[in-house]
Amino acid sequence: MPQTLAEKLISMHAGRDVKAGELVVVDVDFAYVQDWTGPLTVDMIHELGGPLVKDPAKAAVFIDHSSPCSFKDIATGHIKLRDFVAESGCMLFDIGEGISHLVMAEKVTSPGMLMVGADSHTCNGGALASFNTGMGSTDIAVAMSTGRTWMLCPEAIKVEVTGKLPHGVYSKDVILCLIGTIGADGATYQSLEFFGDTVEHMSIPARVTIASMAVEAGGKCGLFESDGQTREWLRENHRETGYRDIKHDPGAHYVRTVEIDAEELVPMVSFPHKVDNTRPITHPDCADVHIHQAYLGSSTNGNFEDFEQAARVLKGRHAAPGTRLVITPGTKAVYRKMMEAGLMDIFLNAGGVINSPGCGACPGSQTGILGDGENCVASMNRNFKGRMGNPESFVYLASPATVAASAIEGKLADPRRYL
C-alpha cells in the first residue's frame, strides 16, 4: 500500500505497516521537555513509579523558556529539572544552550526518527524528515519512562509549492499564506506534507520555519522528504552518517491537496490575535500600523539564516526613533555564527538589543514584554492575546526581513524596498 510520509515514519516505529486512522503503539527514538512543561513531567514520572527514563541517551531536558531565569519560582523548578537529570542520567541543555527544537535539529534529529516533546513546536523536526510531534507533560513522562507512546496515524494533506520565491519573499510567507488559506484548525489531527520545486530548493532552516508552524494550523506534524538539502545540513553539523532516504510513495492517499504558486506570493503579515488572520503587506490595513517593538527570534525563525535575512535589510540602517529592536539567537551555535559573520555589529549599529540564546520574548515572561496598547511585529509563530506577556498588547507575525524593514520605518513595512 503506497504510504504518505506520516504513514511511512509511523510504520517504521510500530513494527508493521500502518495506515491513516489506525491507533498504534510506537517506539519513541527521543523524548524531551523544556523548563515550563518539564517540572510536571518529573512529578508524573515519579508518580508512575517505573524507571525515570528507559534510555538516558534518548531523553533530554532543555532550560530554554526562562533562560537565564527571571523568576524565583521558575528557578526552583530548574533545580528540580537539574536534579532529575543527575538522577536519571538523561541529557541536559542548560541556560544559554538554546531553543530545544533548534538544538535538536543541530545535534540529534535525523531522517526516519520519531520523537515527542512537551512543547507544541516539536513539529519543527519534520524539516529533517523526522516524525516529531508535541504532547503534554504526562505523555512525555510516559514516553521517557517506557520508551513508547500511543498515537493515531494521521491523515495527510499534500501542500504543493511550485515556482521561484520572489525577491524578499521567504518560507515564512509561504506558511503564513497557507495558514491564512486553510485556517488555524485547517489541519487539525492531520499531517501537513510539503512538496514541489520551491520546497526542494529550501534549506533546512527555511523548512524549519514551515514545519514548526504546522501546529498553528492544528497539524500533528509538518513533514518534508529528505534530500540533498537534508544531507547538507547534517554534513554542516558533522552528522552526515545520520542521513537516510525518506520519501512518500507515489499514489499515497492524501485527503486534500493545496497548491501554492510561489511566484505569486508577497510578504505576509498575521494580524492580532490569530495566526490565520493574514494580510499581504500591500493590503491597506498594513499601511499605518505603528510598531513599538520589532522582535527577531523564536523556534520558527531562530536559525542563522533567519538573522542573516534580517541583517541584509538592516545593514547600514537604524531602527526608527520610538521603535525597539530586540534579537534573540535560537542557539549558542547560531549566536557564535552571528558574531563571526558580523551580524552582531549590524544589529547593534541598527540600535538592536541582543539577548542570550533561547526562547526569549516569545513565551511572554521575559526580555521583551510589551506595554499596554503596544504593537510588536515578530518573526515568531503565534500572536494569541497575551502571548508576549500582556493581554493589552498586539502581536503581528512576519518574516525576519519584514520585521527588519518595519523596525527601520517604525511601522509595518515591505522589506522589498530594502533588498
Partner 1 sequence: MSGRAWKFGDDISTDLIAAGRYAYLRTNLPELARHVLEDARDEFRSQVKPGDFVVGGRNFGLGSSREHAPVIIKLAGVSCVAAKSFARIFFRNCINIGLPAVRVDTDKIDEGDQLELDLPAGVLRDLTKGLELPFPPMPKVMTDILAEGGLVGYLKKNKGFVL
Block residue for cell numbers 511511512: 8
CB of 181 to partner 1, least distance (A): 16
Query: Alpha carbon of 144 to those of 9, 111, 361, 371: distances in Å?
Result: 20, 21, 29, 39
CB closer to partner 1 out of 388 and 405: 388
Going by C-alpha positions, the residue among 12, 3, 4, 7 that lies closest to residue 244 is: 12
CB of 154 to partner 1, least distance (A): 9
CB of 348 to partner 1, least distance (A): 28
CB closer to partner 1 out of 140 and 165: 140
User: Strand 30-34 relative to strand 324-327: parallel, antiparallel, unpaired?
Assistant: unpaired
CB of 43 to partner 1, least distance (A): 9
Contacts of the segment 304-308: beta carbons below 8 A, 24+ positions apart: 304/205, 304/334, 304/337, 304/338, 304/341, 305/203, 305/205, 305/206, 306/205, 306/209, 306/330, 306/379, 306/400, 307/334, 307/338, 307/343, 307/347, 307/400, 308/341, 308/343
Query: Alpha carbon of 250 to those of 17, 244, 294: distances in Å?
Result: 16, 18, 43
CB of 188 to partner 1, least distance (A): 6
The angle formed by the CA atoms of residues 34, 171 and 113, to the nearest 5 degrees, is 45
Q: Which parts of this chain interact with partner 1 (CB under 8 A)? A: 23-25, 36-37, 39-40, 44, 47-49, 65-66, 71-74, 76-77, 80, 117-120, 122, 134-139, 141-142, 146, 148, 150, 152, 184-185, 188-189, 215, 218, 220, 274, 363-365, 369, 382, 384-391
CB closer to partner 1 out of 226 and 293: 293
CB closer to partner 1 out of 170 and 394: 394
Query: Alpha carbon of 335 to those of 62, 91, 128, 146, 354: distances in Å?
Result: 17, 21, 22, 35, 10
User: Strand 278-280 relative to strand 268-270: parallel, antiparallel, unpaired?
Assistant: antiparallel
Going by C-alpha positions, the residue among 133, 102, 131, 130 that lies closest to residue 117 is: 133
CB of 363 to partner 1, least distance (A): 5
208 burial via Cβ count (<10 Å: 0-12, 13-18, 19+): buried
CB closer to partner 1 out of 152 and 339: 152
CB of 49 to partner 1, least distance (A): 7
CB of 15 to partner 1, least distance (A): 13
CB closer to partner 1 out of 108 and 388: 388
CB closer to partner 1 out of 117 and 415: 117
CB closer to partner 1 out of 139 and 414: 139
DSSP state at residue 319: P
291 burial via Cβ count (<10 Å: 0-12, 13-18, 19+): buried
Distance CA 84, CA 42 (A): 7
CB of 291 to partner 1, least distance (A): 21
CB closer to partner 1 out of 39 and 196: 39
CB closer to partner 1 out of 39 and 330: 39
Going by C-alpha positions, the residue among 405, 397, 206, 377 that lies closest to residue 320 is: 405
CB of 59 to partner 1, least distance (A): 17
The angle formed by the CA atoms of residues 333, 336 and 337, to the nearest 5 degrees, is 85
Q: What is the DSSP string of 322-360?
A: T-EEEE--SBHHHHHHHHHTTHHHHHHHTTEEEPPSSST
First to last CA, the chain: 48
CB of 118 to partner 1, least distance (A): 6
CB closer to partner 1 out of 116 and 313: 116
